Amino acid sequence: MDMEPAERNPAELRRTALILVAIMILGAAFVLYAYINHEKGKDPDRPPITAKITRNFAAKNQHDKLVGIYDLEGKVWFAVAFCVNQLDENKYALAMMKELVQHYGDRDDVFFVWVSIDGVDQGVGPVQLAEAAEKLGIDDSRCWLLTTGDTDKQRGYIKDQLRLGLVNAREQGDPAGKSKFPSQLALIDRGMHIRQRYDFREVHDFQARAEEELKKRPELADEEKFHVVLHAVDELKKTLYANTEFVLSETKTGSKK
């Protein structure tokens, strides 16, 4: 008996492809939903305790003043990695940091730390940090833009202590810039515990893909929890603020009691 391949119906193939895309987006929605609700326990705003900073980091800030991360013990603070020559690459995290500065402008127990991915040995000293602060519109004594004389040391601290991820070199001539670096923002409590990390670049991209898919398939709007994907950025902001308020009100790590 001759075996002939089954005929492929282009319309059916397109329909199958769309269903698979929808499944992937909805699956991602459930992942995001689970992330937002991860380890909420009895108090829905309690962020998990993911790690503890165990090593100090002495560096010069944008005012050419030597400061240390351990000076922030007893404070609640946020940390992000950035590159003075690629401010647009991490624009979502940097914009969120600026929003947090404004939101907590009346609190002297909340600080904000930007760690440069490049040190003085790569041409990034206090002068360059001050220029970046001006471009970002940052003018607050609680804001530290930091650099040292050792780029490897800085990148190691970003990876091993702040747990924000790796800094990697891009191919020469890449229009995206010289380096690829973490886009996460970390929340650290008074006891130097990293409580949570938030990736606003990833969530912005995720929401944009969902919006594009919804244009192609409006019926997705009726799918349960699809609205979470369509408002992913706002949902993550709500989580960040709720987590921060919980940490600010703690009497001991992980508890208000």
Q: pTM (2 decimals)?
A: 0.79
Percent of the chain residues topping a pLDDT of 70: 79
Give CA–CA dist 3/48, Å, rounded: 58
Q: Give the pLDDT confidence score for residue 171 in this predicted structure.
A: 77
Q: Give the pLDDT confidence score for residue 52 in this predicted structure.
A: 95
| Tokens (6 digits) for 119 | 């040190």
Q: Give the pLDDT confidence score for residue 57 in this predicted structure.
A: 96
Residue 2 lies in a domain: no
Q: Give the pLDDT confidence score for residue 255 in this predicted structure.
A: 79
Q: Is the same domain home to 66 and 170? A: yes
Q: Is the same domain home to 176 and 132? A: yes
| Tokens (6 digits) for 55 | 């090593």
Domain of residue 56: give its range: 51-199
Backbone angles phi, psi at 119, to 5 degrees: -100, -170
Residue 4 lies in a domain: no
Q: Is the same domain home to 186 and 90? A: yes
Backbone angles phi, psi at 42, to 5 degrees: -70, -35
Residue 27 lies in a domain: yes
Residue 80 lies in a domain: yes
Q: Is the same domain home to 166 and 194? A: yes
The predicted-structure confidence for 162-188, as pLDDT tens digits, reads as follows 999 888 877 787 776 677 778 899 999
Task: State the total domains in the chain.
Answer: 2
Stronger pLDDT, 174 or 19, i.e. the higher one: 174
Q: Report the mean per-residue pLDDT for the chain.
A: 84
Confidence class for position 44, pLDDT limits 50, 70, 90: confident
Residue 225 lies in a domain: yes
Q: Is the same domain home to 125 and 169? A: yes
Percent of the chain residues topping a pLDDT of 90: 54
Spatial contact of 170 and 178, defined as CB atoms under 8 Å apart: yes
Kindly report the number of other CB atoms within 10 A of residue 104's CB atom: 20
Give CA–CA dist 59/113, Å, rounded: 11
The predicted-structure confidence for 59-114, as pLDDT tens digits, reads as follows 999 999 999 999 999 999 999 999 999 998 889 999 999 999 999 999 999 999 99
Q: Is the same domain home to 66 and 156? A: yes
Q: Give the pLDDT confidence score for residue 39 in this predicted structure.
A: 39
Q: Give the pLDDT confidence score for residue 229 in this predicted structure.
A: 74
pLDDT at 254 over 90: no
Q: Is the same domain home to 114 and 167? A: yes
pLDDT at 34 over 60: no
Q: Is the same domain home to 182 and 146? A: yes
Confidence class for position 41, pLDDT limits 50, 70, 90: very low
